[in-house]
Structure 1
Amino acid sequence: MILVLAITAIALGIFYAILQLDIPGAWKFMAVVIEMVLVSQIFIRKYKLPSELGMVLVKSKKGIEVIEGLAKKEKAFNFFADVGAGISYGLLSLVLMRKNSSAVTLLLGLVILFFLTVFVAPVSLAFVMNVAKIGGVEKSAAVLGGSAEAALAITGGLLLVGGLFLFILFGIVAYGGIVLSAIFKTLFMGMDTISQTSAGGTFLLPGVNLPLFEGIIALAIVLIVHEGAHAVLTRIAKVPLLSSGIVLFGIIPVGAFVEPDEKKLARVERTRQTRVLVAGPSANMVVSAAIFILFMAFFIGTAQFREEGYLVLAGMEPGTVIHAINGEPVNLTTNPNNFSSFGLPKNGAVNLLTNKGEIIQNTDENGGIEGIIFTVLKKNSLFAVYNVPLLGFIYTTLGLALALNFLVGAVNILPIPLFDGYRIIDVNVKNKLLVKTISYGALFFFILNFLPLLFR
């Protein structure tokens, strides 16, 4: 045990040191990945821990008792899973999952889908882009049509017909097509297009492109909700659970799991299998809606503790808010983005009053401050900076829990191997050639969305 703690402490120290390096984020990410692969292998080989795809599986049966208690509410959880089918697949659920769907569950699913699309999705995607600079699913709407009206009509049609499943699949294929076109132009037309194309997604890692502790808490909520829902519906289907636990990538918790008796699950009637599979993504999306309400209530109730001024985006310490320049309060009615319009002395000095104290900066020959970019931050801005650290921690944790629950739930219904969406389609579609065509096609375009990361 002492050796395990020593290895963990050393790994944490190296992890922290990597995060402090003055190198691009992509290099930090690769360095952390290499470290965690090595740590995982030490735990797997020295302590004979079970593993899958290089990840350490820490198994336990303690969570099973809680799951058994929840599984007694069979009707409620079956109803919940059927509503989730409506959220995930819209009207298509009537075709794919005839025995799971009813007018009531479909209608309720479509109502929740509307709430998720109109309220939860925009806030989730904008928040996670602001924190982690993600591209991803939000590009779907941008490639749907030439006008806002056309995009809205096509988006509404896709959501109604196929739920989030069809909408996200369409978006990933559409943006994958843009990436494919950029690759073609780069390889065959001599145009450097791919390096100027944004990635359609990126990887999430607490401490690298997510705040460390807030990111770990948010991911833990996501994983417990997802795997817990799978587990409850598994027991309702009378399939034994062999164990449950967490998945570690080195020392970083990256997943949770329940281990059902897969052979018995495969023999369960199709309706029950579908409920087991759709429960995880559905739980994430419903929880994202609940956290959205909590997040907005917190945001509205803490306005007096938020900063306003010029929020520095680059060139100074993250989270810096400028309140005054040479004693003059900043003007929040305009958004100049740089200092060149302030009439500052050329090749002189300027006093910036910020939320981190007074800071002296030298001006250049144009009266600007090279490298500093900022934007107007008002108290009603969704991307807030709090003057009370605890409130800032709660705000970020709630925002990430909201965003990651929505993203994980939505992306997990894609028909990609290893995702729940693949198994849902496989269970409900008899033509296995069609299933493979859809799944490997989706995988191809999914990978395309990430390819621009290699050309940064």
Structure 2
Amino acid sequence: MVDLITVVAVIIGFWGILYIIGKNYREEKEEGLQIDFFVALWRTKRFVDFIDQVGTKFRGFWKTYSTLAIGIGFIGMAYVFYTLFNLALQSLKTKTATPGVQLVIPGITIPLWYGLVGLIVVMFVHELSHGFVARAEGLPLKSVGLVLFFVIPGAFVEPDEEALNKASLLSRLRVYAAGSMGNIVAAFTALLLLSFVLTPIIQPAGVEISNLVPGSPAQNYLQKGDVIVSIDGQEIKAVEEFFDIMNKTTAGQMIEVGVLRNGNMLKFNISLGSHPDNPKKGYLGVYPAQYITSRIGFDTIILPISFSLYWIYILNLGIGLMNLFPIIPLDGGKMLDDILKSFLPSKIAKSITYLFVGIGLFLLAINLFPALRNLLG
């Protein structure tokens, strides 16, 4: 909790200084830096020509790609809404907080560097997809750029809003659906690389301690980052093997834990405590994570690539699907709103859109509560 308060104080201090020294950058500009309340935008036209060339040269591909994206978008929209609705209903029925939406904060809720790599891929894939399809549809782009909202970095492609609003329904749906389609394609590309290229050359090599429970039996002996490789002389490579052994222990039992620490093999005799859920069961008090190594060496290259691809997969799939949630200003909300306006009277369409926004925000609040509670301790 203290660490979180410190982080928030530093972030607010950063924005305070930025707002003071950036007083000349508060007006909206076609290019350059713009600073607003907890929002910093940087616009440029340098990459517009590149997006234009790719979008127009391969117009047939992007039209087919984005037409397919519309179908996948509506399926994803229904899936996300149904999933969050069921999770919220389960939470209300059982009165237990069921996690449905996770906050994405590098260094706090996800790993710092791998999380940043994953988020950068999410942003660029998403926005470039929007841009390529917009140009394939003949829609002009005003600028591209980067954005920082509080602590969340982002990228954007800014189409001409007037031209977009005048475009046909099919063109607008293609542009809106393209972003999440790009994220889904990126996610499954990363998954394929992990499954067929990297997984065959990596192997489990122990259980890494990602954290320790305060006051637990392990706290006086083990450290965060230690790799458990044996218990009572029995070799441990996979997390499942660790759980199998620990599930057979009893409270008060003395076990010998072998760990790797900074390349050195250490052994500790630890008396187990009582498990919080079963007083008779042994309790060590560690948060285990799978430790892996490369079968062919080059760990310093292969493992970072593997972890990066894993987070690229997780973040692209999760954020890509969440962006299809049918509330404005998300792409899913824009798609639903355009469909309703095209086939229903304006007042009815607006009412349904507002209804989805209200229900959607309610579902998000219920599903975000466990994540917020965990974050605040």
| Deviation by residue 1:53-95 (Cα, 9 ceiling, x = unmatched) | 6221122222212101111121110110001112122xxxxxx
After superposition, residues 68-107 of structure 1 pair within 5 angstroms as: 68-72=52-56, 73-89=58-74
After superposition, residues 153-192 of structure 1 pair within 5 angstroms as: 163-181=75-93
**2:113 and 2:272 mapped to 1: Cα distance?**
42
- 1:206 corresponds to: 106
Change beyond 3 A, Cα 1:246–1:454: closer
Q: Check the 8 A contact 1:323/1:355 in 2, yes or no.
A: no
**2:162 and 2:80 mapped to 1: Cα distance?**
31
Q: Output the amino acid matched with 2:246.
A: N
Change beyond 3 A, Cα 1:83–1:218: same
| Deviation by residue 1:262-295 (Cα, 9 ceiling, x = unmatched) | 2222122211111111110111112212221111
1:329 to 217, 220, 235: 235
**Larger relative strand fraction:** 2
> Structure 1: 5+ residue runs without aligned partners?
1-23, 90-162, 183-192, 376-382
1:354 to 246, 254, 260: 260
- 2:317 corresponds to: 406
Change beyond 3 A, Cα 1:278–1:30: farther
Q: Does residue 1:247 correspond to 2:232, yes or no? A: no
Structure 1 residue matching 2:138: 3-state secondary structure: coil
- 2:346 corresponds to: none
Provide the TM-score with structure 1 as the length reference. 0.65
**1:397 and 1:268 mapped to 2: Cα distance?**
38
Q: Output the amino acid matched with 2:235.
A: P
Q: Output the amino acid matched with 1:175.
A: L
Structure 1 residue matching 2:327: 3-state secondary structure: coil
Q: Does residue 1:54 correspond to 2:29, yes or no? A: no
**1:30 and 1:266 mapped to 2: Cα distance?**
43
Structure 1 residue matching 2:244: 3-state secondary structure: coil
The percentage of aligned residue pairs carrying the same residue is 22
1:233 to 117, 129, 133: 133
- 1:36 corresponds to: 11
> Structure 2: 5+ residue runs without aligned partners?
26-32, 213-221, 275-281, 342-348
**2:68 and 2:192 mapped to 1: Cα distance?**
20
Q: Does residue 1:262 correspond to 2:161, yes or no? A: yes
Q: Check the 8 A contact 1:338/1:372 in 2, yes or no.
A: no
Q: Check the 8 A contact 2:227/2:291 in 1, yes or no.
A: no
**1:253 and 1:454 mapped to 2: Cα distance?**
16
2:329 to 415, 418, 421: 418
| Deviation by residue 1:204-259 (Cα, 9 ceiling, x = unmatched) | 11111221111111110110000111112222333322221111246x56210112
Change beyond 3 A, Cα 1:302–1:258: same
Structure 2 residue matching 1:234: 3-state secondary structure: helix
1:386 to 293, 312, 316: 293
CA RMSD in angstroms, aligned pairs only: 3.1
**2:137 and 2:237 mapped to 1: Cα distance?**
62
Q: Output the amino acid matched with 2:319.
A: V
Q: Check the 8 A contact 1:40/1:249 in 2, yes or no.
A: no
**Larger relative helix fraction:** 1
Q: Check the 8 A contact 1:239/1:260 in 2, yes or no.
A: yes
Change beyond 3 A, Cα 1:350–1:412: same
- 2:345 corresponds to: none
Change beyond 3 A, Cα 1:261–1:38: farther
After superposition, residues 18-29 of structure 1 pair within 5 angstroms as: 24=1, 28-29=3-4
**1:351 and 1:455 mapped to 2: Cα distance?**
33
May I ask how many residue pairs the two structures share in their alignment?
A: 334
- 2:285 corresponds to: 371
Give the drift of 1:432: 2.1
**1:432 and 1:331 mapped to 2: Cα distance?**
57
Give the drift of 1:385: 2.1
Structure 2 residue matching 1:308: 3-state secondary structure: strand
Q: Does residue 1:443 correspond to 2:361, yes or no? A: yes
Give the drift of 1:437: 1.2
- 1:216 corresponds to: 116
**2:199 and 2:320 mapped to 1: Cα distance?**
26
